[in-house]
Amino acid sequence: MFRLGPTELMIVLGIVILLFGVGRIGKIAGELGSGIRSFKEGLQGENKEEQQ
């Protein structure tokens, strides 16, 4: 239904960079990465508790 090609993705990326700025995007990406890492560690912690 909604297929985004490389051209459309580049346009969207350009708009996002204009709105937020390069520094803010880096900060958001870092926070997203640490959140995903914490989520994965939380899932592994539950599995370790179940095994004991």
Tens digits of residue pLDDT in 8-46: 999 998 998 898 888 888 898 899 999 999 999 888 876
What is the reported pLDDT for 10?
Answer: 93
What is the reported pLDDT for 8?
Answer: 93
Is 12 part of a structural domain of the chain?
Answer: no
Is 44 part of a structural domain of the chain?
Answer: yes
Is 48 part of a structural domain of the chain?
Answer: yes
Is 3 part of a structural domain of the chain?
Answer: no
> Could you give the number of structural domains in the chain?
1
Asked whether residue 1 carries a pLDDT value surpassing 70, the answer given is: no
Q: What is the pTM of this model?
A: 0.53
Q: Which domain holds residue 35?
A: 22-52
- Token reading at 20: 């937020």
Cα separation of 50 and 18, whole Å? 47
Residue 28 vs residue 52, higher pLDDT? 28
Cα separation of 16 and 28, whole Å? 12
What is the reported pLDDT for 34?
Answer: 95
